[in-house]
Amino acid sequence: MRSFTYDALPSRVVFGVGSRDRLAEEVERLGRSRVFLITDSATKPVADELAEALGGRFAAVFSDVQQHVPIEAVAGVRDAARTSGADCIVTVGGGSTTGYGKAIALESDLPTIAVPTTYAGSEMTPIYGITSDGLKRTGRDVRVLPKTVLYDPELTVTLPPSVTAASGMNALAHCVEGLYGKDADPITSLMAEEGVRALIGGVAAAVRDPGDLEARGEALYGAYLAGATLAVVGMALHHRICHVLGGTYGLQHGEVNSVILPHAARFNQGAAPEALARVARAMAVDDAPLGLFDFAVSISAPTSLAELGMRESDLDEAARLSVDTPMWNPRPAGFREVRSILAEAFHGRRPVRVEGGDAVSSPR
């Protein structure tokens, strides 16, 4: 008999081309009247357009978001929001921008509306990450979950192919880990498998033609499903490693996800065969880890830590930091296992399948 718990989260999603035009209406729906916008330099033009449309409801804008949510930066933005008299935060941008909104929501009672422009999926989750003293810590608090998310595929056509590819791999990672996560249930698994299917087709087509609005819509739909899965299902080893590599070594989150995912998937495959079979089915390939690696290559997403500028001499420390605090994973992973995953990932080896064994790689 089936037995499961599905914890649905209270967020409202408005999806479709032009949905950004509904921002003022959605602010009103929350009973709010003064908006503090958060954005970064790439998405500032969209924020400016939204500020104009908000008219008298616009309070102020902050447009200098840095990746990985540095704690010192967030404190300043929180003060600026308070001084502006805002009663609502609207984030316009990728996961870094959404992350600032969450860090502010954590210590204020300001509700957030997210207008995501990448495939990071953070807008659907109650998970926040803040970096201090070179370490990125994550936590879970439903107060940081955006009340409303406006998904507008038109806002993603300016994403360059390299960001489309890396961010798409990040969303794929949410689906893959969501399928074998500790709290996976039949509903999240449906979302995750459909997410993989939508992302594979949408991201590949959007990398080929960034202006293909249909592909953008499909990729964003997949990213939404991926985020909604991540929100409910705890993540595992892959995400722990990625947070260490991003927070401590300053590597870009999407790119790191692209490199690590095939190796983490191979490592977990024996312990989570059904989950990986569902990934393979959604990708229409025989073997998920190989399929993920080959997909990354096909969209020119990074496949090695060396190409991201990681130093081989830092791999020991990165492995240690990844296992410093206990973490759930379908297959237990200690220093030795993580160090070996990092070695494969450093060199960008193709994670070949060896029948009856663990491992794992061949040069490309």
Enumerate the β-bridge partners of residue 131. Answer: 70, 136
As a whole number of angstroms, the distance between CA 118 and CA 220 comes to 8
Q: Does 163 bind ligand NAD (CB under 6 A)?
A: yes
- Per the structure block, which two tokens stand in for 127? 């998970």
Task: Between 84 and 158, name the residue whose CB sits nearer to ligand NAD.
Answer: 158
Residue 227 has a CB neighbour count (10 Å cut-off) of: 31
- Helix 71-83 with 95-106: angle, nearest 10 deg: 70
As a whole number of angstroms, the distance between CA 298 and CA 169 comes to 12
Contact 256, 262 (CB under 8 A): no
Q: Does 94 bind ligand NAD (CB under 6 A)?
A: yes
From the list 236, 121, 214, the residue with the least C-alpha distance to 172 is 121
Q: To the nearest whole angstrom, how small is the minimum distance from the Cβ of residue 38 to ligand NAD? A: 11
Residues 233-262 that bind ligand NAD (CB under 6 A): 253-254
As a whole number of angstroms, the distance between CA 354 and CA 119 comes to 33
- Cα torsion at 347, 348, 349, 350 (round to 10°)? 180
Q: Does 153 bind ligand NAD (CB under 6 A)?
A: no
Residues 263-322 that bind ligand NAD (CB under 6 A): none
Q: To the nearest whole angstrom, how small is the minimum distance from the Cβ of residue 270 to ligand NAD? A: 27
Q: Which stretch binds ligand NAD (CB under 6 A): 40-48, 106-114, 208-216, 279-287?
A: 40-48
Q: Which of 118, 189, 268, 322 binds ligand NAD (CB under 6 A)?
A: 118
User: Total residues at the site for ligand NAD (CB under 6 A)?
Assistant: 30
Residues 61-80 that bind ligand NAD (CB under 6 A): 67-68
* Residues 312-331, mask of contacts with ligand NAD (x by CB under 6 A): --------------------
133 Rama class: left (phi>0) / alpha (psi -120 to 50) / beta: left
Kindly list the residues in this chain that would bind ligand NAD in the complex (CB under 6 A): 40, 42-43, 67-68, 93-97, 99, 117-118, 120-122, 125, 127-129, 155-156, 158-159, 163, 167, 170, 230, 253-254
